[in-house]
């Protein structure tokens, strides 16, 4: 006798926190003309390897974009993952596939085999209606400007190595009074929409 298996498809949406050092990337978005890979292309590659032939992923959307060389202490994405259950004996494996810890560990495994500058910080289930960009409550940007002690030296040897690609390094003296007066327009709550 031939028995027909009833196919069961399950789709889950996840909110995923990521951090990255953007020095070696063309920015968040894919760019055909860029010589460096984009952050999103590397994350998609990790998803393809993690999900593999066991399922599908779609709707990978970032909460914000970063330019080339820009780092993220925490950015977020949402993504849908679908999988088809083909037999009742595979139920446990099916459920583990959607486990948030397994997803985080699996993605980090594939990210770190090739790209150690991108890291998944956290994964959580969210409703299908959730949107990483439009449901974001806030965005915070941090701009680091380093002022070398010796302005006559262009090599900035008095700065720690850690700061060289994570800060804008001034190579000339600045007038702090002018900067304080100019920065007054930045204080307060702004709506840039």
Q: Are 4 and 44 in contact (CB under 8 A)?
A: no
How many angstroms separate the CA atoms of 98 and 120, rounded? Answer: 16
Is the pLDDT confidence value at 16 over 90?
Answer: yes
Catalytic residues: 67
- What is the rounded average pLDDT of the residues 45-61? 82
- pTM score above 0.85: no
Nearest Cα neighbor of 42 from 87, 128, 108 is 108
Work out the end-to-end distance of the chain between its first and last CA atoms, rounded to an integer number of angstroms: 63
Arithmetic mean of pLDDT, 137-143 = 82
Mean pLDDT check: name the lowest of 100-104, 126-130, 188-192: 188-192
CA distances 50 to 1, 9, 102, 133, 171, Å, are 36, 18, 10, 24, 45
pLDDT, mean of residues 159-181: 75
Residue ranges in 24-99 assigned as alpha helix (H): 39-51, 91-97
Given a contact cutoff of 8 angstroms between Cβ atoms, the answer to whether 132 and 77 are in contact is yes
The token pair that represents 83 in the structure block: 């999988």
| pLDDT band at residue 140 under the 50/70/90 scheme | confident
pLDDT mean over 95-108: 83
């Amino acid at each position: 006798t031939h028995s027909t298996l009833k196919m069961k498809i399950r789709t889950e949406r996840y909110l995923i926190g990521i951090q990255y050092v953007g020095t070696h990337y063309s920015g968040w978005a894919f760019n055909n003309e860029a010589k460096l890979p984009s952050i999103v292309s590397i994350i998609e590659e990790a998803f393809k390897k993690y999900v593999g032939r066991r399922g599908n992923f779609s709707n990978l959307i970032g909460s914000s974009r970063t330019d080339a060389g820009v780092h993220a202490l925490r950015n977020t994405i949402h993504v849908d993952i679908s999988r088809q259950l083909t037999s009742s004996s595979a139920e446990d494996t099916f459920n583990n596939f959607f486990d948030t810890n397994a997803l985080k560990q699996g993605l980090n495994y594939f990210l770190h085999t090739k790209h150690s500058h991108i890291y998944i910080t956290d994964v959580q289930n969210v409703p299908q209606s959730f949107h990483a960009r439009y449901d974001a409550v806030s965005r915070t940007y941090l701009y680091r400007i380093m002022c070398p002690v010796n302005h006559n030296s262009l090599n900035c040897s008095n700065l720690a190595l850690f700061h060289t690609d994570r800060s804008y390094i001034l190579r000339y003296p600045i007038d702090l009074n002018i900067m304080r007066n100019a920065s007054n327009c930045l204080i307060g709550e702004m709506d840039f929409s």
